[in-house]
Structure 1
């Protein structure tokens, strides 16, 4: 019973997931596989598009001319969609639109050849598109696609069986049905597991904030929102609890952990909604956001006042660093994050040497 509850809970959670399209694109791009992945998707579209076009000129083509024209149009659309990935990544909405149109075309071609009594080899195309949907789109979209593909496969099994060869139709149809359903669902399960593991590896378990790795990944996403028509300033604020060692030594590590959690909660409450908050390590925290130095200092001042009002009774030192990004410049998020944190960390230590509970500002010009 416990296993069943866990399974249903996992399915319900996966059903509500918004999809991992943007996350997976950033992952493959960051690891140098972006172009290879795009070309692979493009080649899959080319293969799907070539299928109805080649069949239209083969002896196995459907006899009706109008149907052949419709299937060729579906093939041409698939070829055009392949060009989208050769040029660059489509947006999530564009990808969803392509998936819907592409699978509608596959369904039309399969139904046309099934009604004409021809082998429905094109049902294997559903395995390709379903695998793609399993990786980057939502579970409801995948289930809808698998339902369509399964229905067409079952129609093919029945059609071949009624033609006088039920054993052959069942053997071939079941293999196609397994290819269309089992493979994409297995891929979906693996992507969900890898995605959850990646998310967990980016989160500090005590505070629930991003860790240093998660901060770098989040800054990469944030950099993608930089407007291309003008320079942008990005600010990092380093926060270090003053005399944290004495809190651990005099009140115990459990009290020290509570202080860290309290600070994390305060950071969430005071920081702008579009900022990235992380626990860098120990008692050090960071905020990264696109704003000017004045905006970062105002946030730091709000944090100082909020901490003074905390019943835990601790203060922190703040170091603010800013970088101005030139317009239309490619952003190396790893180098940007490290540079900002390094300069902000230096400013924060200046604040600590000056007695703590203060803000120091530095310019991290590249």
Structure 2
């Protein structure tokens, strides 16, 4: 049975598939603007505290406060111009955690700083939505350390342990419930999307899920100088197999082909059933050799014990270009080009492969 995504060690990182999910629904721009505006507002609150008697108490802590505000805005700038890479997103979350810590610890009134630790939950929510549980725990750890230091200062200054405990309870509730609630929700959403994206017979991606997964693949390799290669596979005379041996034999052939494709492709490859007797394979490679790749898949199908062969078409293109992030349009273009190449192979008699080098 096909394994979803086929990329070991990536299941915990949500950035690529969330990016594809938002792109497909036209929501990336809304998220970019929202994240940038929220960051600017939080940075403004930090800067404004620089003028408050409860804020930083000397020149050094005032400078820290303003540097923290400026750093947060600078880290959010990629969201203003384009959908950031995973690395830029991680830099934004780490910078945000560091600037919140610096600002809260710089306030002369420790109670204000302690209450300000609730802001870590905003970063925690972002990390839980886009990244991994490890980053969520890291953000919570920084929040807990800052809150502990500031709680000690509050008790030392006021002697009011009850006030301190009440503030700690609010900070803890927000920094635990919000990030971990979002993390649990996103994991559940991904499982549901995966289940709905499988072809029930072969276990491969259906066409919509194939697009999502290829977009994830492109996101992971964007900026590496790699090429995306897409292969369209159509079984020859499949209708004749169904008519002469029955649909059970046809289903067995489809399952056999899906297993042969999995064994013949790299683990990074995305394999889907496009419909009927058509299959799609996508992979990202540094040195594209589409003819070799296509011939390997064709031969793997021809070697099956069932009497079936395949016409194979491929197309490839660099995934970087001028765009800041990959796009689903390139996937559609390559599928059309691979489909044209596949029909060239079929018109030439089938059981052969062709490459469309136009892109």
TM-score (norm 2): 0.78
Aligned counterpart in structure 2 of residue 318 of structure 1, from 306, 311, 319: 311
Q: Give the drift of 1:130.
A: 0.8
- Residues of 2 paired with 1:28 and 1:204: CA distance? 23
Choose 1 or 2 for highest CA Rg.
1
Cross-structure match for 1:190:
185
- Residues of 1 paired with 2:177 and 2:20: CA distance? 27
Q: Give the drift of 1:76.
A: 1.7
**Structure-2 change in CA distance of 1:194 and 1:116 (3 Å):** closer
Cross-structure match for 2:277:
283
Aligned counterpart in structure 1 of residue 333 of structure 2, from 336, 340, 348: 336
Structural mapping, 1:135-150, within 5 Å? 135-150=129-144
**Structure-2 change in CA distance of 1:223 and 1:167 (3 Å):** closer
Helix, strand or coil: the match of 2:120? helix
Helix, strand or coil: the match of 1:317? strand
Helix, strand or coil: the match of 2:30? helix
Aligned counterpart in structure 2 of residue 102 of structure 1, from 96, 108, 113: 96
Aligned counterpart in structure 2 of residue 170 of structure 1, from 156, 165, 168: 165
Aligned counterpart in structure 2 of residue 39 of structure 1, from 30, 33, 36: 33
Q: Give the drift of 1:186.
A: 0.5
Q: Give the drift of 1:347.
A: 4.5
Cross-structure match for 2:6:
none
Helix, strand or coil: the match of 1:61? coil
**Structure-2 change in CA distance of 1:50 and 1:233 (3 Å):** closer
Cross-structure match for 1:11:
none
State how many pairs are aligned: 343
**Tell me, which stretches of 5 or more residues in structure 1 are unaligned?**
1-14
* Bigger relative CO (Cα 8 Å, ≥ 6 apart): 2
**Structure-2 change in CA distance of 1:346 and 1:252 (3 Å):** closer
Cross-structure match for 1:64:
58
Cross-structure match for 1:179:
174
- Residues of 2 paired with 1:228 and 1:211: CA distance? 28
Answering whether residue 198 of structure 2 is matched by residue 203 of structure 1, we say yes
**Tell me, which stretches of 5 or more residues in structure 2 are unaligned?**
1-8
Helix, strand or coil: the match of 2:188? helix
Cross-structure match for 1:7:
none
Larger deviation, residues 166-175 vs 131-140: 166-175
- Residues of 1 paired with 2:283 and 2:148: CA distance? 53
Cross-structure match for 1:213:
208
**Structure-2 change in CA distance of 1:296 and 1:273 (3 Å):** farther
- Asked whether the 8 Å contact 1:304–1:315 carries over to 2, the reply is no
- Residues of 2 paired with 1:118 and 1:78: CA distance? 20
**Structure-2 change in CA distance of 1:71 and 1:304 (3 Å):** closer
**Structure-2 change in CA distance of 1:248 and 1:209 (3 Å):** farther
- Residues of 1 paired with 2:48 and 2:103: CA distance? 12
- Residues of 2 paired with 1:130 and 1:365: CA distance? 45
Helix, strand or coil: the match of 2:107? helix
Structural mapping, 1:46-61, within 5 Å? 46-61=40-55
Deviation readout 1:250-289 (Å, 9 max, x if unpaired): 4772x54443232112212334666542212233223346
Larger deviation, residues 153-162 vs 117-126: 153-162
Q: Give the drift of 1:86.
A: 1.2
- Asked whether the 8 Å contact 1:74–1:106 carries over to 2, the reply is yes
TM-score (norm 1): 0.77
- Residues of 1 paired with 2:225 and 2:155: CA distance? 63
Cross-structure match for 1:302:
296
CA RMSD, 1 decimal: 3.8
- Residues of 2 paired with 1:259 and 1:114: CA distance? 73
